[in-house]
Structure formats: C-alpha cells, structure tokens
Amino acid sequence: MRLGPFTTKLDRYLDIDISARWNDQLDMIGFSIPKMADDFLQDMGAITPEITVDSALVYINWAAEISGGISYFEISDIYIQRVRALINLEIIVPDPLDDDKWETYEHEWEFETGDEWEIEADVESTKLQDGAIQPQSIEMDVELKKIKIEF
C-alpha cells in the first residue's frame, strides 16, 4: 500500500548538508558581482568571492510504500517526487586593490529538482517519530546534482 504524497519541511540547519563549489556557479545561483572601481580585474576573474551557506529551508515531496500486519509495519520503498530548497548565502567580495576592504552581500537562491537530479532515499534508518515517518536529514551536492535523504 502506498501512503502519501507528503510534504516535509526541513529548516533546522543541522539536518541539512550542502556541498557546492559556488564560485564556479555564480550565474546558476543568480548572483553577479557588483561593478567595482576596477572592472578590468573583475572581467579577468581576479576577484574571487567567498561564499558560505548561511541557512537553508528544504521541502521534500514524497510517498512511502508500506506493508505489514496487525502488530508491525515495514517500509519497502520511499518515492521522492520533488525537492525544493531556499538557500541563504553570505557572499564576501574582496576589493582587488585593497586586501583590507570587502563588501558583504546576502543572497537568496531558490531551486527545484528536475529530471537531471539524482535523488536517493535511505530507508534503512527509518524512524516513527510523533506518529509519522519523517525525513531526518538531507545531503545535497549542488554541483553534481545529487541528493541523499535519510528517513
């Protein structure tokens, strides 16, 4: 029997692990370095911003295939239909002419998985929590477009 679809929100930072080489993907996340005094250095790629994940909010749309009897149940499979995420990034852009100067920006990036994403659900550690099966953690590799969700 299939239960779902369910939508689960993960918003506690410890539940979410995000890996990416953000510096190579500024266009993908919709951020462009603001024009600076020396545009030539910026155009040549001499400005390397430092990008870190400040926080993330992840929505997982999923369903579960379960079987069981009177006193037990077993989850045989988890189907992930879609993962949406809102990632808040902190971007520090150094001044190429002065090592002691920089600008800090907060940038919000929202994305949704598509057909090109590899999504894996781990049902080995499935837990019954507060009367419901809930994802416990999520690992996202944005660069490789891979997601692993532990239930």
125 vs 128: CA distance, rounded Å: 10
Residue-wise pLDDT tens digits, 62-73: 888 887 777 767
89 vs 86: CA distance, rounded Å: 10
Residue-wise pLDDT tens digits, 126-145: 555 555 677 888 999 988 99
pLDDT for 10: 85
| Interacting residues of 146 by C-beta distance below 8 A, sequence separation 6+ | 117, 118, 119, 120, 140
Name the least confident of 4-18, 19-33, 55-69, 117-131: 117-131
| Mean pLDDT computed over every residue of the chain | 81
- Domains of the chain by residue range: 2-150
What pTM does this model have?
0.75
Alpha-helix runs per DSSP H in the chain: 39-43
